[in-house]
Amino acid sequence: AQRVTQPEKLLSVFKGAPVELKCNYSYSGSPELFWYVQYSRQRLQLLLRHISRESIKGFTADLNKGETSFHLKKPFAQEEDSAMYYCALHAYYGGATNKLIFGTGTLLAVQP
Partner 1 sequence: GAVVSQHPSWVICKSGTSVKIECRSLDFQATTMFWYRQFPKQSLMLMATSNEGSKATYEQGVEKDKFLINHASLTLSTLTVTSAHPEDSSFYICSARQGGERRETQYFGPGTRLLVL
How far is the C-alpha of 29 from the C-alpha of 51, rounded, in Å?
A: 15
Shortest Cβ 75–partner 1 spacing (Å): 26
**Residue with smaller CB distance to partner 1, 95 or 112:** 95
Q: Which stretch binds partner 1 (CB under 8 A): 15-23, 53-61, 63-71, 90-98?
A: 90-98
CA distance 112 to 96: 45
Residue 87 to residues 16, 34, 72, 95, 101, Cα–Cα distance (Å): 23, 6, 9, 22, 8
Among 28, 40, 67, 96, binds partner 1 (CB under 8 A): 96
Q: Are 88 and 61 in contact (CB under 8 A)?
A: no
Task: Give the nearest distance from C-beta 63 to partner 1 in angstroms.
Answer: 15
Q: Rounded to whole angstroms, how far apart are CA atoms 44 and 57?
A: 16
Cα distance between residue 71 and residue 111, in whole Å:
21
Please, which of residues 44-73 interact with partner 1 by CB under 8 A?
44-46, 49, 51
Per CB under 8 A, 78 contacts partner 1: no
| Interactions with partner 1, residue window 26-45 (CB under 8 A) | 32, 42-45
Q: Which residues of the shown chain bind partner 1 in the complex (CB under 8 A)?
A: 32, 42-46, 49, 51, 86, 90, 92, 95-105
